[in-house]
Each structure stands twice: as C-alpha cells, then as structure tokens.
Structure 1
Amino acid sequence: MRKNKIGALLMNGSILLAGLGIAHMSMAQNAATPYPKMAPIDQYLMADPSAEIALARSAAPASISRDATVLVLGRKGYETAAQGKNGFVCLVARGWSGPFDWPEFWSPKIRAADCLNPQAARSIVPILVLRAKMAMAGRSKAEMLSALNAAYEHKQLPPIEDGAMDYMMSKSSYLTDEGGHNMPHLMFDTLVKDPKDWGSGAAGSPVMSCPYWFIAENQPPHMKALPPILVFLIPAPTWSDGTPADMHAH
C-alpha cells in the first residue's frame, strides 16, 4: 500500500468521507493516532457561516457550485444554508467523515470542501449528515458505526447510487496534517469490489482507491449491513478557480 493517498473522505464521508470522505489514506493500522478522542465542539465549528458557505462552494468550479445547495455545520449537525437548483450539494466535511481507523478522524483541523453530484447528494450526503449529527452529540466511533449499521439494516439510508461522485478542488481545504496533500481531485463512490478494475495503483495510473469505512479494508463482523463502498480518487490538473495545480508537490 502506498503510504499517502488523498481520499473523501468525508466525504466526504466525508471524504468521505464522506469521506468522505474525505479525505486521506495512511498506514493507520501501524500508527498511533494523534487525536485519540473528540475535541471540544467549538473547535469543529466555523465562526462565520458565510465563510463556511464560500469554502464549501470552492470545492467545485463556480459553474457547478453557484447553483448547488449548501450545508453548514451547526451544533446539532448540518443545516441548509442555501437552497440550490442543480441537484449538487456542497459542504465542508470534518475528520469524522473519513475512514473510522484514520488517525485524524477526530482532528478539529480538518476542513474538507466537498461538492457532491445529485447521485452522491441522494446516497452519500445522508451518511455524512448522520455522522455529523452523531459526532456533534458527542457519540463515540462505536456508537456512530452502530447507528449507521442500524440505519442500513432498517433501510433508513438509501443504497449507493451508480454515478455518485464529488469534487474536491478547493485551494483552501485542509485535508490532513501530512504536508502538501491538499491536491485538487475528483472522487467516485462505487460498489466496485476490485480496485484493479479501475487500474488503481497500476504503474503510471493516476487512479487511487480506498475503502470508505475502514482503511484496513476488513470492517467489524457486526457491521455487515454497511455497503462495501470503494472510493476512487483521480487528481485534477487545476483548482476550482481554474488556476494550475502543482501536481509534483504531492
């Protein structure tokens, strides 16, 4: 496994975390976490909602993000700050949108601008919303996972849609403590089982991949209701404002 990869965590999750994504891959199973528990809630909030809206919209080119719905993080989770009309949803993911075994899961520094397309808005954003609600309520990782598992078991969360993807092209995001890894990229949330089907990790391929729930790939056995999401990442040559990105800095 390559030591460093950007993922969505959140938005993620978010990135992805959903990433997430959201966010970033690391050899987490062999590293001590610098953030063993959740920080005080205020450290995850942005003082100026307008700044959070601007950061969220900077995830994608203005031609996309200006007509997107925007969510901002409040004390009880994400709230709608602007209603869009193109089906996209932009938000700023925090560390808890990333894989549950990511060392920076509880980092209060993470600000991952993410703009999800309509398919991801319908099937990934609900995951991010539930994660944020649980985190802001002070729930543990185990409690968050149990809630997600139960939500899928009872069909309270929708299945992952084909074509779900998101833009993470903001110059102003903070994705990880590990140096210059804030590169512009696109993420694709899939149910693909073998990353080789996309050429991920092949010599000369720009495609990277990471399991959505756990970097270590093997999720706990009692979490079998969670869909086996595999996130693919492809670097973009420019930031959302059209300026060139220095791809050699990553």
Structure 2
Amino acid sequence: MFGLLKTGADQRATRRPSQGRGKAAVTFASRLTFDNMSRRFGDTLALDRFSIDVEPGEVLCLLGPSGCGKSTLLRIAAGVERPSSGRILLDEQEVAGPNRFVPPEKRGVGLMFQDFALFPHLSILDNVAFGLKSLTRSEAKAEAYAALERVGLGHYAGEYPHILSGGEQQRVALARAIAPRPSVLLMDEPFSGLDPRLREKMREETLAILHETHATETNGHPPD
C-alpha cells in the first residue's frame, strides 16, 4: 500500500508564478472523496477499502513503490477504470459506485500521465486542444493557446513535440490537463523521468499554477 502526504491550500499559497508565462484561469475546486473503495484484478486485490477526503484546493501526494495501487487509484478517480466496490464522490455527488458511473469527459477531472502521452503527429497547440471537444475549433485553439501561455510555451504552439526537452514536454502535458479548467487534477508520477534539478523546478512551477487555478490535486509518486 502507499502513504499519504497532504498539503492544505493555505500552505501552498506562498508559491509564486515563474517569470515568462501568463496567469492561469480560475477553476472552482471540488472536494474529492474515496469511500470504502476496492479494486480487484482477478485474484489480486490492488486497493482494499480505501477511504479519504481531499478538500477543495488541497494537494494530496500518494507515496509508495511501483505496483502498490497509486496509478489504479488515479485512473478510477478519473473514470478510466471502475472500482470493484465502494464509491467516488465529487462535491458529495456520486460519480462511480454500484449503481452509477459518470464517464470521464463529464467529471471535470484532469489526468496527467507519467509519459505525458503527447501525440507526435499533432502540433503542440493541437495536442493541448485535443480534449476540448465541446468547443468550436477556434474556441478550442484559443483556450489551448492560453494554456500554453500559462506554462510559458506559447511560442512553441505551431511546433511538434519531438523538438521539446523532457521538461518542456511535461509543461505541454500540464497545459493540456488544465486547458479544460478541471476542478480536480490527477497527476501520475509526472516528474519521475526528469533529472533531480529539473524535477524540483517543475514541482515549483506546477504548484504555482495549481495555486492560481485553485484546483484540487492528487499526485501519485514513488518515494524519493
């Protein structure tokens, strides 16, 4: 199993935006609740009656070795997987449980994968706009460009992912995650592929953006 590290919204308020980027748009954060949730894969019990409340604007870090259930928990919260039992609630409204399942695109939850999952055949702008299906093309591009500006990469909008460094790709993935203005942001080991110096820098920048958006964050990460 994994350990938990919680940081309240007031504790992260001292973070400051880095230079050279725009300011993130405000999001109304949600309360995320895991209620007695379990997940089985055949005979393997990946999560066993897990319960916790993550308050609006709070940062929760899941710490533990590979295979302990961190990614499974995040994928269930995002709606990519279903729990075997128990419930997931957003602002006390059930989004996953025995009799209800809200699809991922209707939850207002952003998920940032460990490998960034950028599409090599799409421009950086189109990568960020990819999930904005409810908007017109021009509206989606405008929102995507604004998100790129927030992470300091607006000047790369017309380029392709292969020209970017690892840290820049991470920032594009973050821009894509915040572009729909989610109320909860889930991050699956987003800094694990970066060198220690860049990892710390990206943590600081990400926390600054989360402070601006007010989004609730749950982050799975192996212990350092």
TM-score range, shorter chain: under 0.3
Using the size of structure 1 for normalisation, the TM-score is: 0.24
Q: Which has the larger radius of gyration?
A: 2
Greater fraction strand: 2
Using the size of structure 2 for normalisation, the TM-score is: 0.26
Higher relative contact order (CA 8 A, sep 6+): 2
